[in-house]
């Protein structure tokens, strides 16, 4: 396991606060309120470990397969439905949405290999990630990856807690399946917008792993 580069500053900051808080507490109250100092130390240590865990990158063997659309993130499948895409395709598509809790790995990965033909950031609201309107009303970053004659739209969507979306792709860039697409800090969701007729290989409430689980076959 390694730590993602997006976590360096956050981990350094919470570690500094953890150290300063506990040094001051033990210095001023260690003699009279030792039990309280120990309790705060344990609670703050758990919080530091949670932040470190949030930015983890576990060691995995990624799925590399031409006909497969792999999961762009860790999480739980919360939506599988036919929609009318209003952002890019302007026609009917199949949407698969994956909810990421704060405990999930938050690296986002390319679901297929191909060329980036669309990349757009949208300002928006911070509705809870499982709200159906979050796909079109929340802050989000959308990219379309083209492979042959197939285009797949990937939406990184902010939620009520997530306040920062990072996207590493650029229009014209050639990307590889399983490589990093971006990162969302502190919980949210990722939508896959697929062609109608795509074979979906997952079910509602199924837990998936980014870069590993096969969401669909094209």
pTM, full prediction: 0.86
Q: Which alpha helices (DSSP H) does 30-120 contain, by range?
A: 34-54
pLDDT band, very low/low/confident/very high, at 139 (cuts 50, 70, 90) = confident
Give the least confident one: 42-46, 129-133, 138-142: 129-133
Euclidean distance between CA atoms 24 and 32, whole angstroms: 13
Pairing of strands 150-158, 140-147: antiparallel
User: Residue 162: pLDDT above 70?
Assistant: no
Q: Which residues are catalytic?
A: 188
Question: Does 51 share its domain with 95?
Answer: no
Question: Does 153 share its domain with 207?
Answer: yes
Give the position of tokens 């530091």. 48
Which CA distances in Å does 7 have to 12, 79, 101, 197?
8, 29, 17, 39
Give the least confident one: 14-28, 99-113, 125-139: 125-139
Q: Domain of 6?
A: 2-57
The rounded mean pLDDT for the chain is 91
Question: Does 181 share its domain with 141?
Answer: yes
pLDDT band, very low/low/confident/very high, at 81 (cuts 50, 70, 90) = very high
User: Residue 164: pLDDT above 60?
Assistant: yes
Tens of pLDDT, residue by residue over 2-37, are: 998 988 999 999 999 999 999 999 999 988 899 999
Question: Does 38 share its domain with 72?
Answer: no
Average pLDDT over residues 164-186: 92
User: Residue 208: pLDDT above 90?
Assistant: yes
Question: Does 13 share its domain with 86?
Answer: no
Give the least confident one: 97-111, 132-146, 167-181: 132-146
Specify the number of domains making up the chain.
2
Question: Does 26 share its domain with 119?
Answer: no
Euclidean distance between CA atoms 3 and 53, whole angstroms: 8
Average pLDDT over residues 50-69: 91
Q: Residue 15 falls within a domain, yes or no?
A: yes
Longest alpha-carbon distance in the chain: 71
């Amino acid at each position: 396991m390694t730590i993602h580069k997006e976590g360096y500053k956050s981990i350094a900051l919470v570690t500094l606060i953890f150290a300063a808080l506990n040094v001051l507490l033990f210095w001023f109250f260690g003699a009279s309120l030792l039990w309280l100092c120990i309790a705060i130390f344990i609670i703050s240590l758990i919080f530091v470990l949670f932040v470190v865990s949030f930015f983890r990158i576990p060691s995995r063997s990624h799925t590399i397969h031409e006909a497969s659309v792999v999961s762009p993130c860790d999480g739980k499948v919360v939506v599988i439905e036919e929609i009318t895409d209003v952002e890019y395709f302007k026609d009917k598509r199949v949407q698969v949405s994956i909810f990421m809790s704060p405990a999930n790995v938050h690296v986002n990965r390319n679901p297929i290999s191909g060329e980036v033909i669309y990349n757009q950031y949208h300002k928006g609201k911070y509705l809870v990630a499982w709200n159906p309107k979050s796909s079109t009303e929340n802050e989000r970053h959308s990219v379309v990856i083209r492979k042959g004659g197939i285009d797949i739209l990937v939406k990184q969507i902010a939620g009520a807690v997530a306040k920062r979306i990072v996207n590493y792709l650029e229009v014209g860039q050639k990307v590889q399946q399983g490589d990093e697409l971006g990162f969302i800090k502190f919980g949210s969701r990722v939508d896959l917008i697929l062609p109608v007729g795509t074979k979906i290989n997952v079910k509602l409430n199924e837990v998936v792993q980014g870069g590993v689980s096969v969401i669909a076959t094209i």
